[in-house]
Structure 1
Amino acid sequence: MTLSHDLWTAETGLATAALEHPFVQGIADGTLPRERFAGYVAQDAFFLESFARAYALGVAHSADRTSLDAFADLLAGVREELRLHAGYADRWGIDLAAVEPWPATSAYTDFLLATASLGGAALTCAAMTPCMRLYAHLGQSLAGRAVGPYEEWVRTYADPGFEELAATLERLLDDVADDTPALRAAYRRAMELEVGFFDAAWLNA
């Protein structure tokens, strides 16, 4: 078993909590109120800008060409996600430039940027992999049964291209990281923050 797979398996409970979250289930069955999804889109766009910066720090701190190329490819993937959010914003009149981050959003972005700035490549991968793997898991789990206005969201994260990005980050983690308590703590913290983000999206309509 690879380290990345072991880390993901250890957090099955949090992955299940995310999949079964009423916000995620509301996306799947199309019943999520539009204002809740609009709030989430705005916050997630804010989050993704920090996620992109964390990848850029990974590029800057890369010790070899393989890591540099992987972080650069992952950064390009975030730009595609941001275009998806910009599309929602245009259609639904969401002003992404005026977003005030929720406490849950700031907690996650602060954690990511601090880790990417100070933690080195291994901890950066551990802090960022849960987002990628969790969203791929959500998309693939919901694919084929999503209906309503949010099907595009499900298709985006169920797409094989997104799975490849998640796998790229996991391979990088496996290449650069050792199994340490600090690494596991960073991975679990990111998973907790993911569930907390869905909690905030559900409550902050």
Structure 2
Amino acid sequence: MSIDGLAARLWAGNADLAAAALAHPFVAGLADGSLPRERFAGYVAQDAFFLEAFARAYALGVAHSRDRATLDAFAELLAGVREELRLHDGYATRWGVDLSTVEPAPATQAYTEFLLATAALGDVGETCAAMTPCMRLYAHLGRSLAGRASADYAEWVDTYADPGFEELAVTLEALLDRLAADTPSVARAYRRAMELEVAFFDAAWERPVVR
């Protein structure tokens, strides 16, 4: 990612929210192992619901693509989300969480509705602006926690610290740089997604899974 690109400028302009996410007690609990398992189980359930919507937003990106390169990039990103969903299925099986019965929390609903509305009604550049923060933030969290995560949550950290996940984040950032204009609406979409990321961690910290 070029330091002069739009994606880099938007990430730098939202450094306050990235720092808030990294310092969040939920994320800190992942690192030191103090996060109660029921809170992580609740997060997994909500994140699985979120990722299904994220996959649909990528599918809308495929549908709205105007050239083969864009179509291929969104298809690659969609495949990456399917891998994340398989990881969540594994967590749910081990911990007895029935994902089919989980209702979305208000924070999850707000985030998914924002993403799907943007992907359905906005242009492809705005869709990239709404989706990039999730990918870049999780790659940032994975790298920041790599090597110091507790054994309980090492699999989660390793997933987002993996170079393959970084490649997917870079792919989406490249789409953002190529397809989005440097406009207030793009900046607002990026900022809103970052705010919703922090709100998602707030909800995971405060609302354990209902079994």
TM bucket, shorter chain: over 0.9
- Residue of structure 2 aligned with 1:113, choices 108, 112, 116: 116
Structure 2 residue 51 is the aligned partner of structure 1 residue 42: no
* Residue of structure 2 in register with 1:165 after alignment: 168
* Residue of structure 2 in register with 1:74 after alignment: 77
Q: Secondary structure of the residue that 2:151 maps to in structure 1?
A: coil
Q: Which runs of 4+ in 1 moved over 2 A?
A: none
Cα deviation for residue 148 of structure 1 reads: 2.6
Structure 2 residue 30 is the aligned partner of structure 1 residue 27: yes
Structure 2 residue 158 is the aligned partner of structure 1 residue 155: yes
TM-score by length of 1: 0.99
Matches within 5 A, 1:51-200: 51-200=54-203
Cα deviation for residue 157 of structure 1 reads: 0.1
Equivalent-residue separation in structure 2 for 1:199 and 1:126 (angstroms): 22
TM-score by length of 2: 0.97
Cα deviation for residue 120 of structure 1 reads: 1.3
The C-alpha deviation readout for 1:43-94, integer Å capped at 9, x for no partner, is: 0000000000000000000010111000000000000000000000010001
Equivalent-residue separation in structure 2 for 1:158 and 1:165 (angstroms): 12
Question: Which runs of 5 or more structure 2 residues have no equivalent in the other structure?
Answer: none
* Residue of structure 1 in register with 2:15 after alignment: 12
Q: Secondary structure of the residue that 1:149 maps to in structure 2?
A: helix
Cα deviation for residue 180 of structure 1 reads: 0.0
Q: Secondary structure of the residue that 1:145 maps to in structure 2?
A: coil
Equivalent-residue separation in structure 1 for 2:38 and 2:148 (angstroms): 22
User: How many residues are aligned here?
Assistant: 205
Q: Secondary structure of the residue that 2:148 maps to in structure 1?
A: coil
Cα deviation for residue 147 of structure 1 reads: 1.2
What is the identity, as a one-letter code, of the residue corresponding to 1:111?
A: F
Equivalent-residue separation in structure 2 for 1:32 and 1:148 (angstroms): 12
What is the identity, as a one-letter code, of the residue corresponding to 1:180?
A: T
What is the identity, as a one-letter code, of the residue corresponding to 2:183?
A: T
What is the identity, as a one-letter code, of the residue corresponding to 2:77?
A: L
Equivalent-residue separation in structure 1 for 2:105 and 2:151 (angstroms): 27
Q: Calculate the aligned-residue CA RMSD, in Å.
A: 0.4
The C-alpha deviation readout for 1:90-118, integer Å capped at 9, x for no partner, is: 10001010110000000000000000000
